[in-house]
Amino acid sequence: MEAVIAIGIGVLAGSGVWLILRPRTFQVIIGLSLLSYAVNLFIFGMGRLRSNAAPILDGVSAVTAYADPVPQSLVLTAIVIGFAMTALFLVVLLASRGLTGTDHVDGQER
Amino acid sequence: MPAAALPTLLLALPFVVALVTLFIPTAWARNTAAALAGSVALIGFAIVLWLYPAIAAGGTLRHELAWLPDLGLTIVLRLNGLSWMFAAMITGIGFLVVLYARYYLQPDEPVARFFSLFLGFMGAMLGIVLSGNLIQLVIFWELTSIFSFLLIGYWHTYASARDGARMALIVTGTGGLALFLAMLLIGHIVGSYDIDTVLASGEAIRNHQLYLPTLLLVLVGAFTKSAQFPFQFWLPRAMAAPTPVSAYLHSATMVKAGVYLLVLLSPVMSGTGPWVWIVTYTGLVTLLIGAYSAVFQRDLKGLLAYSTISHLGLITTLIGMSSPLALVAAVFHIANHATFKASLFMAAGIIDHETGTRDFRKLSGLFRYMPFTGTLATVAAAAMAGVPLLNGFLSKEMFFAETALKNANPFVDVSLPFVAVLASLFAVTYSVRFIHDVFMGPPPTLLDRVPHEPPALMRRPIEILVLLCLLVGVVPGLTIGPYLETAVRSVLGADTPSYSLAVWHGFDVPLMMSAIALVGGIILYRLLHGYLARGVDSPPFIGHLVGPRIFERLLLLLSARLAPALERLLGTRRLQPQLALLVGLAIVAGAIPLLAGPIAPGLSLDGLDPVLALVWLLGSVCAVGAAIQAKYHRLMALILMGGAGLATVVTFAWYSAPDLALTQILVEVVTTILILLGLRWLPNRLENVPIDVATSRGARLRRARDFVMAGVAGAGMAFFAYAMMTSDAPQSISRFFLKNAYVLGGGHNVVNVILVDFRGFDTLGEITVLGIVALTTFALLRRFRPAADSIDRPEQQRIQSQYEAARTDEEGSIVSDFLRVPAVIMRWMFPVIIVLSIYLFLRGHDLPGGGFIAGITLSTGFILQYLAGGTRWVEDRLRIRPTLWIGSGLLVALLTGAAALLFDHPFLTSSFQYLDLPMFGRVPLASALAFDFGVFVLVVGATVLILVALAHQSIRNARPTARPAAGASGEVR
């Protein structure tokens, strides 16, 4: 199953990279979102993939019975910060569009 | 007071008082600031005198203060004979210059700034000579450059002052950098930056393979500071400074820092071939060029500046010769030059002050108006020319004696005495010219006022200095003898030669040379008199080799040509190349591990779940679709992006991360709403607009490159993700968290315990960032207006509006209830969502949930109200103050963390205990819950603020008549 997830990460990252290299701000914002999905999944994958082992202690099972909580908490904050980044970028994008009249990433058509 | 503390006081006092002086209001500054500065100089001088007996006994005072002990750096104050002599000059002449400046400066000038900078400079200069540590010396060295820059630019409204200041700073500052490198090299060779240790390691330095580069760097530092050829050009330009500055910095102290350094390091670096040749001949060339150029100046201060250059060249030549006697002469001449040149500068300043000009062509016959000043200037000029019975004569005789010594090298044997006599001849010429052109001859006709003597106190400093010139010239042994001996002995130690300071040595070669120079100089002046009276301003033959012009060209080349060229070559302001570079670097960095050997994870499809595989098939299609559609179909791209996000959510849920799945799906919702809000202001992009053929080839090439990069990046990510996920998990700190989440944190949900307890500090940082971002978007949206809407109203709406207009209904009234049922449901959902979010928050410590999740949930509740009723409807009924939420959330989190301090625990230590509540039974109560509450409140505030700020823009644009006047800031809540 790892192969499928890995390919999924690859496709997300590839699409994201393609988009952040495009000249339009909207493309870049979508690209960044896709790229953060890929990166979040990658970090999440560092804890290895395990089903039915959520790190919620039941007081009985051994420590090894749970999935790794550290990448999960890292990714959780990354998701929230990712949202903040998207919001900020969107506002900058709109301000730039309002000021320069273009949605080119450099603020002028080339 | 212990003797060791006195040098500290000596060094600290000018800086402290400089700070105080800065705040004296201009109205009192002329007297108060001058009095303060004068007292500091006088106290400093008294300390220096007080310390003399200890120094004269042959001792070196050392006082150490810890600075950066980890790096082996201590502040060392070191006072020996040589630095004592300099300290006496700095404080003594400093006092005289302060007295002079009190009368020189106009009362309406920013006098406080002048004296503050002056004191700062005095402190920096004292710092150089008191430094017992090479790094410390360089720091003070650079400080003198900076203060010199500020002082030269004191009259900053004049372009010449600004240019002169800038040139001096660039030249001496560059030299300072070279010196810094040199000191690092010496530190590397010796293994210590302590000057006493360095001075004991002469053999090691001279024999080291880095000796030559070190020497060259030291010399660049010293030569730039002491205005030696080819760096001499900054000094005449620095004459744009007020005359007290010229008298102090550019004759007596700062330019002497270079030769001080050479004398200081001469025991360890001198005597080698490179030293002798470079230093001697640089000095000799400077001596000649300076003296020659001084003759042909039109400006009084210009003459003195070139004369200073030439005298510094003389000193440098003596140091270069590396013989003990030459060093004695060098130190002696340093002191002599300081006295007569400072007094001459002051005299020039008085002339300027009283006549309003420094131009030789306008000045004439001033003796009848100012006989005292004239007499004093004449004596000082005679000392400069080297007339017997004055101090300049004695050191010049010693110089002649050294140059006249038989040398094995015929070139040296001839060039040294020949140039020495020639330069002294020029010195006599310009000294005579200084006196004769200004004070003798017919009364001036070109002045706009009648000159008269300056206030007596303004003349007093000159009187004192000229008296010193005379006393040293007549009875050298009784006046400067012991101090000179102490200074020289501190440098040469056992090698100190026996020398005689007597005025009369009989008819010997030096006397002959002096006589030739004196007579020849006067004859030359008579020959040149007519030529000079025509008002030449540049010396013949070398006039076109103007240093400043070359310097300016070089500066222009560097700043206006080279820098933009480099920027064009290496830099770009365009985002795409930058990102391409970044991705390219990331790909290269990712490929590095492969160099160590191929990584070949075994490919297996074990445990392939068809459902999840299908989810990812859809997710991948969505991602690629979003990539394709983002240019022309933004809404489609947004929906497809959501699809890819959902695949991510499913994956999190599938693989035991319920918290992540919850967070991701909520953020997904909020992000989508946010971008939807923004879509209306993006410009139309039409698919079938013809593309310019000329650019299309470049664009196609770029797209191909980007496609390859995206492919490689994606494949690389997939490869590494696979390799990583199929390898065995290493032992990590996770075990600790799993074991202790309940024991130490009191929670069952380990992810939440990590967030709010174990790594609470990180979370505090995270929420702070979140709050800042929200406030930033809010602030940006207050300032900027989005572009006009890109799309007209939809056709249906237009038809409807026309219909309503025809019926004289208010626009939009007929179909205002078109979403009535969903709106009611959304409104009714509000309390449910609030309860849900509280539920999610409370259970967060033990089950999936927590502050982040609950916060976003609650904010979606608010957003739903906006969706259902519209911005106006909501705000009529509900006053949300998101900024307040952000502030209180952060405060709660901080206070919870700080509460731990009350119990003598580190910041953010959590505690928990069980509480017996009636009806509920035993419930766990952790202080981390309060922290999580802060997170919750802040997340609500931040998310709502961002969304509402953006939603508000639509109101501002939809009804342009309701907009406030242009320029007024519309309130956005």
B556-585 pLDDT tens trace: 888 888 888 888 887 788 888 889 999 999
Per-residue pLDDT at B595? 83
Residue-wise pLDDT for B47-74, tens only, equals: 999 999 888 887 788 888 877 777 767 8
* Contact list, B748 vs chain A (CB under 8 Å): 56-59
Interchain proximity A87–B674, CB inside 8 Å: yes
Using the structure block, give the residue that is written with the tokens 């630019």: B153
pLDDT band, very low/low/confident/very high, at B924 (cuts 50, 70, 90): low
Tracing tokens 């307890």 back to the chain, one arrives at: B757
pLDDT of residue B909: 76
| Radius of gyration, CA atoms only, chain A | 19
As a 3-state breakdown, chain A gives helix, strand, coil percent values, each rounded to 5, of 70, 5, 30
Nearest CB to B732; choose among A50, A70, A80: A70
Q: Which tokens belong to B911? A: 């505690």
Mean pLDDT over B103-122 rounds to 90
How close does chain B come to A64, measured CA to CA in Å?
8
B735 band by pLDDT with thresholds 50, 70 and 90? confident
CB contacts, 8 Å: A94 with chain B: 678, 681, 784, 786-787, 950, 953
Give pLDDT tens digits for B235-248. Answer: 988 888 999 999 99
Q: Residue B957: is its pLDDT beyond 60?
A: no
Query: Averaging pLDDT over each range in B292-296, B365-369, B643-647, which range is the top one?
Result: B643-647
Residues B956 and B944: their CA atoms lie apart, in Å, by 18
Opening angle at CA A18, ends A17 and A20, nearest 5? 65
Note the pLDDT tens digit of each residue in B449-497: 888 888 888 999 999 999 999 999 998 888 888 899 999 998 888 888 8
Give the residue on B whose Cα is nearest the Cα of A6.
B718
Q: What is the mean pLDDT of chain B?
A: 87
* Interface test with chain A among B655, B748, B852, by most A beta carbons within 10 Å: B655
Which residue would you say has higher pLDDT here, B954 or B119? B119
Q: Determine the pLDDT at residue B921.
A: 60
Which residues pair with residue B77 across a beta bridge? B63, B131
Q: What's the pLDDT score for residue B714?
A: 95
Alpha-carbon span B607 to B50, nearest angstrom: 91
Verify whether the Cβ–Cβ distance A30 to B638 is below 8 Å: yes
pLDDT grade for B544, boundaries at 50, 70 and 90: low
User: B731 in contact with A at a CB cutoff of 8 Å?
Assistant: no
Reply yes or no on whether the pLDDT at B948 is more than 80: yes
**Angle at which helices B324-355 and B391-403 cross, to 10°:** 140
Q: What is the mean pLDDT of residues B541-552?
A: 70
Flag whether residue B299 sits within 8 Å of chain A, measured between CB atoms.
no
Chain A residue with CA closest to B663: the answer is A76
Q: What is the pLDDT of residue B959?
A: 40
Q: Which residue reads 């080349």 in tokens?
A: B557
Residues B306-360 have pLDDT tens digits of 999 999 999 999 999 989 999 999 999 999 999 999 999 999 999 998 888 888 8
Residues of A in contact with B717 (CB under 8 A): 9-10, 13-14, 38, 42
CA distance B745 to chain A (A): 12
ipTM of the complex, rounded to two decimals: 0.96
Q: Is the pLDDT of residue B545 over 70?
A: no
Specify the pLDDT at position B963. 38
Answer whether A110 touches B (CB < 8 Å). Answer: yes
Residue B46 has pLDDT above 90, yes or no: yes
- Does position B798 have pLDDT exceeding 90, yes or no? no
Tell me the torsion sign for CA atoms B618, B619, B625, B630: positive
CA distance B799 to chain A (A): 29
Distances (CA, A) of A85 to A29, A36, B581, B671: 10, 11, 21, 10
Q: Which residues of B touch A101 (CB under 8 A)?
A: 787
Higher pLDDT, B605 or B516: B516
For residue B958, what pLDDT is reported?
A: 46
If one compares B973 and B618, the residue with the highest pLDDT of the two is B618
**CA-CA distance, B515 to B658, in Å (whole number)?**
102
Question: Distance (Å) from the C-alpha of residue A38 to the closest C-alpha of chain B?
Answer: 8
Report the residue from A5, A22, A34 with minimal CB separation from B641: A34
Q: Do B852 and A76 touch (CB under 8 A)?
A: yes
Mutation target vs B (from A94, A97, A110; most B CBs, 10 A cutoff): A94
Average pLDDT over residues B4-20: 88
d(CA B37, CA B111): 11
**Residues 633-662 in B contacting A (C-alpha not used; CB under 8 Å):** 634, 637-638, 641, 644-645, 647-648, 651-652, 654-660
Query: Is the pTM above the cut of 0.80?
Result: no
Range in B394-403, B504-513, B692-701, B894-903 the model is least confident about: B692-701
Q: Which residue of A has its CA nearest to B946?
A: A87
Statement: residue B914 has pLDDT above 70: no
Distance in angstroms (rounded) separating the CA atoms of residues B88 and B72: 31
Task: Find the mean pLDDT for residues B925-954.
Answer: 88
Q: Is the pLDDT of residue B277 over 90?
A: yes
Distance from CA of A109 to the nearest CA of B (A): 11
Residue the block writes with tokens 């365009």: B574
Query: A 58-87 residues with CB below 8 A of B?
Result: 58-59, 63, 66-70, 72-73, 75-77, 79-87
Does B644 sit within 8 Å of A82, measured CB to CB?
no
Among candidates A12, A20, A66 on the partner chain, residue whose Cβ is nearest the Cβ of B644: A12
Side chain identity, residue B267: P
Query: Are residues A94 and B604, on separate chains, in Cβ contact within 8 Å?
Result: no
Which residues does B760 contact at the CB level (< 8 Å), separation at least 6? B897, B908, B910, B928, B931
Average pLDDT in the A53-73 region?
87
Task: Kindly report whether the peptide bond that precedes residue B230 is cis, defined as omega within 30 degrees of 0.
Answer: yes
Say if A35 is an interface residue toward chain B (CB within 8 Å): no
